[in-house]
Structure 1
Amino acid sequence: METRLIIKKWGNNLGVRLPAAIASEAHLHADQEVRLSVEHGRVIVEPVSTIADLTLADRLNLFDPAVHGGEVMAAEKVGAELW
């Protein structure tokens, strides 16, 4: 998707408002942290990944038993857990 926008002055900075369709296609949302960089004269906007953005499979792939090993809760079951 492509669109043309006007760069506006915003205080001492310049700003561009992202149209909803562009933001949606790029999986960007309000208050999301992004990384800005310039490559070959182009401004690149990339979302910063957080642990909350990872799928369960991604999180499990990050698990290192040497670092995270051991019991987290060394108590008896408190509900309908299957041991």
Structure 2
Amino acid sequence: MTIGISIALMLASLLMMLLILLRKGKGGGLSDLFGGGFSSSFGSSSVVERNLDRLTVITGLLWLVCIVALGLLLRP
């Protein structure tokens, strides 16, 4: 069971790094390559940015659940 959670933790960590690198910074980011540069003129974030935000939050929650589960399973 701990091996499965450890693998899920590693995958979530890699996905979190990728999602954070895709986020748009002050000068633009890698998300511009995938359509993140097209935002509306009303000052709201684009659909790509909102979906990227949601994926980042969901992946962060999965990462946190994996950390807590491993901590509970491996405590002495």
Does TM-score exceed 0.5, indicating one fold?
no
Bin for the TM-score computed over the shorter chain: under 0.3
Structure with bigger RCO (C-alpha 8 Å, 6+ apart): 2
Q: Which one has the largest radius of gyration?
A: 1
Structure that is richer in strand per residue: 1
User: Normalization by structure 2: what TM-score?
Assistant: 0.24
